Amino acid sequence: MKPKYSFFSNAKYALDGILAMLKYEVAFRIELAIIIPAAIISFFLRLSLLEHLFLLFSLFLILIVEALNSSIEACVDLFTSKWHEKAKIAKDCASAAVFFSVIFAILVYISFVFKSFGIFFI
């Protein structure tokens, strides 16, 4: 039987997930160490509220996708400890999603930095 929904229990599960990622995922710690200063620096850019929100979304998207990547890797590792082509594909695809989110955030960040200083691509 499924346990009854509890906001505080579910929030604790989310915090436990964050703590697990901080403890076990080096990539998450590295991304966090880059994203926090980047987010702080972004507040010194001359951008509208909507632009700031979009920029912060692109940075948080990296953390969101990294959390999904970590959960996929944990599930694959739970299922098999042996090398398997399908396990490799699952892990590589999840890693590619993180890569795409990082590229997206870099492009957004650079675009807004240039815009803030009056430099336009077109």
Which amino acid would we find at residue 9? S
Quick one: tokens of 30? 């590295």
CA-CA distance, 47 to 72, in Å (whole number)? 36
**Is 66 in the active site?**
yes
* Residue among 36, 37, 26, 38 at smallest CA distance from 66: 26
Contact 56, 42 (CB under 8 A): yes
Candidates 51, 66, 73, 85; catalytic one: 66
Q: Could you list the active site residues?
A: 66
